[in-house]
Amino acid sequence: MTTLATVADLEIRLRLDAGSITGPDRAAAETALEDASTLVAAAAAAAGLAEPWTEATVPAVARRVVIGVALRTYRNPDGYVSESMSGGAYSYRYADDETSAYLTAAEGSMIEQAVAKGRARKVRGGTVRPS
């Protein structure tokens, strides 16, 4: 699958110099972007997108969702929601419902709106207007 955002996009949001994500970290970032792009593409298809988006055609809001999902996955790949240390014992807790890439309800709505905004229909007189 083609990713809908780039490692360079992640570096900008992480305030890193261009090209500074390398080696295994770059592989993790690329995988996070692939997972996020797959989720966004699936949500867009479910919302009625006829032609899949590419990196060149993805709406800005959908690209932002891809980056947000990828950042969550890159920063916290195991999905930890809390850690604690008490009396020398270390403990952690995973999210109750998700431990990998996911779309929040708000992100899903943003994708649905982006699909709806991009959809066009023919109207009388042959002009095309957003539906």
* Full-model pTM: 0.81
Three-state SS sequence of the chain? CCCCCCHHHHHHHCCCCCCCCCHHHHHHHHHHHHHHHHHHHHHHHHCCCCCCCCCCCCCHHHHHHHHHHHHHHHHCCCCEEEEEEECCEEEEEECCCCCCCCCCHHHHHHHHHHHHHHCEEECHHHCEEEC
- Express each pLDDT in 70-80 by its tens digit: 999 999 888 77
Structure confidence at residue 99 as a pLDDT band (50, 70, 90)? low
The lowest-confidence range among 9-13, 24-28, 100-104 is: 100-104
* pLDDT score, position 120: 52
